[in-house]
Amino acid sequence: MTFATQLNAAILRTGSVTCVGLDPRLEQLPKPLRESVSENRKDSVAAAYTQFCCEIIDAVAGLVPCVKPQAAFFEQLGPAGMVSLGEVIAHANRAGLIVITDGKRNDIGSTATAYADAYLGSAEPERSPWGSDALTVSPYLGRDSLEPFVEVCDRRAAGIFVLVKTSNPGGGYLQDLSVDGKTIYQSVAELVTELNKSRLDADGYGPVGAVVGATYPEQLVELRKAMPHSILLVPGFGAQGGSADDVRAAMDSNGAGAVVNSSRHIIFAHKREEFSVAADESNWQDAVRAATVQMNEQLKG
């Protein structure tokens, strides 16, 4: 089964388009985990990240189709963090969650293949070292930097999400520049659609997804149409300002074809008063689960 087929099936099975972003930060961990860290040592922080992310995975398994670990926060801890990232991905695989590693990688030729080899593929015998089902990639180096990723997707039933229109305030600096009436993000969207051709599953989806921020609702509508074969990964919901009405435009008529990421609002839900977490924050996992159910409900509408 291809990556797109699997992800759309997981959306329909869970009745959810929520993607839980795993962005651990030491200072925001629940108290029991923060206090388990000795002297701010990197290996000790990494162990706390592993426990934190694995407990989140246990809390949300069955409620959502996928999780998205943010590589940067693990890399920040050095090699110990990369060991943690591998453990977290493996735990999510075992819990039946699809894993999108957010690494925004890219390079040219055989170097791009090395990144694809490293991250893409969760199933034996082609399981990759990190074991994720998909990876986010940057398009600045052009078409020939994306093709090596797509070839590995073909072999390993994996996916990529190409940055098309990002959610940050300055995202438009290059992405919105307009060439003969066509913006850069529209050019990237065309490339994404071309790469999917000849790779479509029975529902018309291919392995090349796209990142489109919820913070630009008009472009989300436009890009949903421009990339009919792409699953959209939509960041920027909630904390960054995108509303539920905004992001529903990303889904297809089956309510699939897109996943909406939330990181802080879910993983640090113990900081949200509405979930009445105990003073010692020992029941923080309940808040994670409640925040996930709440987001699922918001996105149904």
Contact assessment for residue 47 and residue 84, using Cβ atoms and an 8 Å cutoff: yes
- Give the nearer residue to a copy of itself in terms of CB position, either 179 or 202: 179
- Which residues lie near a copy of itself (CB under 8 A)? 23, 42, 70, 72-73, 75-79, 81-83, 85-86, 102, 104-109, 111-112, 114-115, 117-119, 129-130, 138-145, 163, 166-175, 177-179, 184, 187-188, 191
User: Which member of 104, 182, 225, 271 is catalytic?
Assistant: 104
- Give the nearer residue to a copy of itself in terms of CB position, either 11 or 195: 195
Backbone angles phi, psi at 215, to 5 degrees: -80, -5
Sequence-ordered strand ranges (E) for the chain: 18-22, 66-69, 98-105, 134-137, 159-165, 178-179, 182-183, 208-212, 232-234, 258-262
**Amino acid letter for position 31:** K
| 3-state SS class at 94 | helix
Q: For 257-298, give the DSSP string.
A: SEEEEESHHHHTGGG-GGG---TT-TTHHHHHHHHHHHHHHH
CB of 108 to a copy of itself, least distance (A): 4
CB atoms within 10 A of CB 31: 15
The reply to whether 104 belongs to the active site is: yes
Task: Find the angle CA(165)-CA(166)-CA(172) to the nearest 5 degrees.
Answer: 70
- Give the nearer residue to a copy of itself in terms of CB position, either 24 or 65: 24
Task: Give the burial class of 21: count Cβ atoms within 10 A of its Cβ; 0-12 exposed, 13-18 middle, 19 or more buried.
Answer: buried
| 3-state SS class at 162 | strand
CB of 8 to a copy of itself, least distance (A): 27
**CA 227, 190, 22, 24 torsion-angle sign:** negative
Which residue carries 């889904």 as its tokens?
Answer: 251
Q: For 48-61, give the DSSP string.
A: HHHHHHHHHHHHHB
CB of 123 to a copy of itself, least distance (A): 16
| 3-state SS class at 233 | strand
CB of 290 to a copy of itself, least distance (A): 25
- For 218, the token pair is 């008009």
- Give the nearer residue to a copy of itself in terms of CB position, either 10 or 195: 195
CB of 141 to a copy of itself, least distance (A): 5
- Give the nearer residue to a copy of itself in terms of CB position, either 12 or 108: 108
CB of 281 to a copy of itself, least distance (A): 22
- Give the nearer residue to a copy of itself in terms of CB position, either 171 or 206: 171
Active site residues: 104
